[in-house]
Structure 1
Amino acid sequence: MKSVVIEKPGVLRIAERERPQPGAGEVRVKVVAAGICGSDVHIFHGNNPFARYPRVIGHEFSGIIDAVGEGVDPARIGTRVAVDPVVSCGHCYPCSIGKPNVCTTLQVIGVHLDGGFSEYAVAPSRNAYPLPDCIGDDVAPMIEPFTIAANICGHLKPRPDDIALIYGAGPMGLTVIQALKGVYGVKQVIVADRLPSRLKLADASGADLLIDSSVTPLPEELTRLQIKPTLIVDAACHPAILQEAALLASPAARIGLMGFSAEPSSITQQSLTSKELSIFTSRLNSARFPEVIGWFERGQVQPATLITHAFDLEEVEKGLHLFEHDAAACCKVVLRF
């Protein structure tokens, strides 16, 4: 089988490998489609502290179960599935309170374990979720990105009367916009970004107010409009945003952080406690696949609007380069198998 292997930082090759055999409790998936994520680019460049090399990347993927390991019902063979990359122990403290995404022995398929940029991949049976026929192969890899939005929304508990501000109209920001509008019915969603093309995607995703922060400073525009957001999501993932978000927020607002920067954020306690702000952080997803599959099935989100490019597996380097270097033209890239 062909697999996309990062041999070491900066070195990618499409290698011929033996098909993996599913172990006890595992299934083997014949991969049909996979999505490129920023995490894949970080692993390629050696900027992901959790990856070990060589590594088959790819954590957004779907396909068809073609083999099962011991203890797995053979009737699952032939089932179309989307794969949750979060592999957890199920019994540590985080797992016991419904947060397998921060399991004390967390492993992520495509990061700690070989992933889905391969013709075949293995995963725990419980991580392979059946797909209804109405979810096409072209959009099935988008389920995983939308689980990231589901996770932060699960913390923030959006309400229809919220005024939401989203920093960043990249893939993560766009999934959050669609969730806020299509799932939670939030009345006003404001999006700030510096790229007109991304703001155009935000508009297509349902945003109500677009702010080009390269032209008009966000604080100045919100002050002019007399807007105090009650819900803020940092999907731009810059450490300077937290302090600004606290200053812009309404009293009693909720702030959600999706970033993974190692750079420190500077913020005063007074800016938080004076308004009694709530801050939530979110990593990966906590068993959100069934929830998001339901969103797709009911048409509450429109994942196809975020897919700007599709390539064959052999063109993976082209896809990675485009995703990294052409944010104006590229949002989500899907690999076809």
Structure 2
Amino acid sequence: MKSVVINKPGELVLQQRDIPQPAAGEVRIKIRSASICGSDVHIWRGHNPFARYPRVIGHEFFGVIDAVGAGADSRRIGERVAVDPVVSCGHCYPCSVGRPNVCASLQVIGVHRDGGFSEYACAPAENAYLLPAAIPDEVASLVEPFTIAANITAFLKPTTRDVALVYGAGPMGLTVVQVLKGVYDVSRVIVVDRIPQRLALARASGADLTLDNGTTPLAELLNGEQPTLIVDAACHPSILPEAVALASPAARIGLLGFSGDPCTVTQQSLTSKEISLFTSRLNSKRFPAVIDWMARGIIAPAKLVTHSLPLAQIEEAMTIFEQDPQRCCKVILTVG
């Protein structure tokens, strides 16, 4: 089989490998498509602190179960499935309180173990979620990125009364916009970015107002409006202190992703407004919810897709994703 392998930072190859055999409790998926995430590029460039090399990358993928390991249900062969990349132990403290995404021995498919930019991949049977026919192949790999938005919004508990501000109109920010509007019916969603084309995608995804803070400070653009819910989907160290300053009293702020660089936030700025701060990593069993939203048309993943290329053109696809944010949002890799 052909697999995309990062042998070491900067070295990406399309490699011929043996087809894997599913271990006990696992299923093997014949992959139909996968989609590129920023973290895949970070592994390629050596900027992901969790990656281990060599690695078959890819954690957003879907396909058809074609084999099962011992103890897995053979009746599942032939199922169309999306794969949750979060592999947890099930018994540590985080797992016991419903937070397997921060398991003490967490492994992520495509980061700690081989992933889905390949013709075949194996995963625990419980991580392979059946897809209804209402979700077409063309967008089925996008279940996973929407689980990131599902996770942070589950913490933030949006309401129809909220005025939401989303920093960043990249793929993660856009999934948040769609979930805020489609699932929670938030009355007003504002998106800030510095790329006009991305702001256009935000409007297409349901944003009520888009702001370009490339030359004008965001505080000036907001003209005194105080968001009650803020999601940082850009994760620059300067954003959190600004978000705290702009937020309404009693606001909730959610952080998606992380930067290794420090930022400075005073206790006074948080406690004086009694701001609630939430962080989110990956997803904690959000696949069923997202599959339901997608099947019912509450979210529209196709609005994020700008490019589709075959797996053989992986370096071109990764380069477009990395270097052309004006034209590129989500890139789908067709496999089988």
Pairwise same-fold verdict (TM > 0.5): yes
1:46 deviation in Å?
1.0
Residue 175 of structure 1 aligns with an amino acid whose one-letter code is T
The CA distance in 1 between the partners of 2:236 and 2:7, in whole Å, is 30
The CA distance in 2 between the partners of 1:247 and 1:259, in whole Å, is 21
The CA distance in 1 between the partners of 2:196 and 2:164, in whole Å, is 20
Q: Match of 2:246?
A: 248
Q: Match of 1:9?
A: 9
Residue 151 of structure 2 aligns with an amino acid whose one-letter code is N
Q: Match of 2:34?
A: 34
2:146 aligned with 1:137: no
Show the 5 A alignment for 1:53-202: 53-202=53-202
Q: Match of 2:258?
A: 260
The CA distance in 2 between the partners of 1:17 and 1:101, in whole Å, is 29
The CA distance in 2 between the partners of 1:196 and 1:51, in whole Å, is 33
Q: Match of 1:323?
A: 321
The CA distance in 2 between the partners of 1:142 and 1:136, in whole Å, is 11
Residue 9 of structure 2 aligns with an amino acid whose one-letter code is P
Question: What do the CA deviations read for 1:183-213 (whole angstroms, capped 9, x no partner)?
Answer: 0000000000000000000000000011111
The CA distance in 2 between the partners of 1:261 and 1:313, in whole Å, is 30
Kindly indicate whether the alpha-carbon contact (under 8 Å) linking 1:238 and 1:259 is maintained by their aligned counterparts in 2. Answer: no
Show the 5 A alignment for 1:256-295: 256-295=254-293
The CA distance in 2 between the partners of 1:286 and 1:114, in whole Å, is 20
Secondary structure in 1 matching 2:30: strand
Using structure 2 for the length normalisation, give the TM-score: 0.99
The CA distance in 1 between the partners of 2:258 and 2:273, in whole Å, is 25
Residue 195 of structure 2 aligns with an amino acid whose one-letter code is L
Secondary structure in 2 matching 1:243: helix
Q: Match of 1:219?
A: 219
2:332 aligned with 1:314: no
Question: What do the CA deviations read for 1:11-46 (whole angstroms, capped 9, x no partner)?
Answer: 111111110000100000000000000110011011
Residue 308 of structure 2 aligns with an amino acid whose one-letter code is A
Secondary structure in 2 matching 1:132: coil
Cα RMSD after superposing both structures: 0.6
1:50 deviation in Å?
1.1
The CA distance in 2 between the partners of 1:232 and 1:39, in whole Å, is 23
Residue 70 of structure 1 aligns with an amino acid whose one-letter code is A
Question: What do the CA deviations read for 1:257-284 (whole angstroms, capped 9, x no partner)?
Answer: 1131010111111110000000000000
The CA distance in 1 between the partners of 2:206 and 2:12, in whole Å, is 37
Secondary structure in 2 matching 1:23: coil
Kindly indicate whether the alpha-carbon contact (under 8 Å) linking 1:252 and 1:277 is maintained by their aligned counterparts in 2. Answer: yes
Secondary structure in 1 matching 2:166: strand
The CA distance in 1 between the partners of 2:115 and 2:91, in whole Å, is 24
Residue 279 of structure 1 aligns with an amino acid whose one-letter code is L
Structure 2 portions without partners, runs of 5+: none
Structure 1 portions without partners, runs of 5+: none
